[in-house]
Amino acid sequence: MKFRSVVEPPEPMRGLEVPAEVVTALGEGSRPPVTVTINGHSWRTRLAHLRGRHLIGLSHANRDASEVEIGEEIEVEVELDTEPRVVVEPPDFAQALDDEPAARTAYDALTTSRKREHVRAIESAKKPETRQRRIEKAVATLKA
């Protein structure tokens, strides 16, 4: 489903405004999971509902990849995203979770975003000892 929107400055409560009829046509409530495509660049997200407006957040990275500028009126395509959200655990983190059933249970109950935060923290470590400390910290936090 396509619509036109203006690229708003990246301030709080801003983004690409989504017309109410588009949200209604998606049929999944006010915060449906969607795939957004602008100028051939696509990403997965959820619509936000803030201060009576439906918005798509447009990060600096997605703005650059889509080759759009603040203030520009653009064509936006959204599709309902029905694919499951999956976070791939690094093998060493997965093993540490499996070794601690309470941590594994807590991790499995987290939202996709929270799982992604743990994985990013571990994968961004530059040194093996830092990575190991981050795994141990995540497991300890999850067990608590």
Q: Kindly compute the dihedral angle of the four CA atoms of residues 91, 95, 96, 101, in this order, to the nearest 10 degrees.
A: 140
Kindly state the tokens that stand for 46: 């959820």
Identify the domain containing residue 101 by its residue range. Answer: 91-143
Does residue 75 sit in the same domain as residue 98? no
Listed residues 80, 103, 123: the one ending a domain: 80
Residue 103 covered by a domain: yes
Query: Total structural domains in the chain?
Result: 2
- The conformation of residue 14, written as its DSSP 8-state character, comes to -
> How does pLDDT run across 46-98, given as a tens digit for each residue?
999 888 889 998 888 898 999 998 899 999 999 999 888 889 999 999 999 99
Does residue 62 sit in the same domain as residue 132? no
Q: What's the rounded Cα separation, in Å, for the pair 124 and 126? A: 6
**Do residues 3 and 76 make contact, with C-beta atoms less than 8 angstroms apart?**
yes
pTM over 0.75: no
> How does pLDDT run across 93-122, given as a tens digit for each residue?
999 999 999 999 999 999 888 999 999 999
